[in-house]
Amino acid sequence: MEWKIFLTIIISMVFVNNFILSKFLGLCPFLGVSRQIKPAMSMGMAVIFVMTLSGAITWLLYRFILIPLNITYLRTITFILVIAAFVQFVEMVIQKKSPLLYRTLGIYLPLITTNCAVLGVTVLNIDTFFVQGKPVGFSFLLALTQSFFAGAGFTLALLLMSGIRERLQLNDTPRYFQGVAIAFIIASLMSLAFMGFNGFRF
């Protein structure tokens, strides 16, 4: 029975409830870094890392600190601080290991801190896997799975978008549709296509 729950979470986060194409969260890095595949892949890996570890740490903080001390009202600010710390760490690592990639990602890398998709998955973990202040069965593993595959869905959307936009550079796009305009049109068509996954049933 448990494997069905995990499978449902995986398919839901990657396809059915994709944070970009279904929930429309995290559109800033999605549109800004999706011009080429390599920066999109790097941004996706950074988002997966931040989402997964943030999901794990925020679950532990909520379960063992916020609930026992009866300060669950500090949930949002606590989660934002955790996310900001991880983004700072990722930024320092990329800057040291790959200065070129750091310059390519530019402002969009620190913007992961304010990426509502990252905060959204941490809040979703708590709302989904806690009932009346108590964790459901396998709550931590479920939260970890949901966080990782939410990042995977984010990365999939980035890679699909970057692949399409790279091909568009070889085509003669009308002047009025160049840039952000064609990006929004592509994103809307991708979103419509992903609506087809709503038919999944388990």
- Residues 44-89 have pLDDT tens digits of 888 898 899 999 999 999 999 999 999 999 999 999 998 888 888 8
Residue 63 lies in a domain: yes
Highest mean pLDDT: which range of 4-13, 41-50, 58-67, 108-117: 58-67
Residue 127 lies in a domain: yes
Residue 186 lies in a domain: yes
Residue 19 lies in a domain: no
For the chain, how many structural domains are there in total?
1
Domain membership of residue 59 as a residue range = 25-196
Mean pLDDT of 106-125: 83
pTM summary value: 0.88
Nearest to 67 by CA among 125, 132, 120: 132
CA 70, CA 109: separation in Å to the nearest integer?
A: 34
The pLDDT value recorded for residue 134 is: 92
Residue 42 C-beta-side C-alpha neighbours within 13 Å:
23
Residue 9 lies in a domain: no
Beta strand extents in the chain (DSSP E only):
130-131, 134-135
Lowest pLDDT segment from 25-39, 103-117, 145-159: 103-117
Residue 202 lies in a domain: no
CA 128, CA 134: separation in Å to the nearest integer?
A: 11
Among residues of the chain, what percentage have pLDDT more than 90?
49
Residue 13 lies in a domain: no
Residue 10 lies in a domain: no
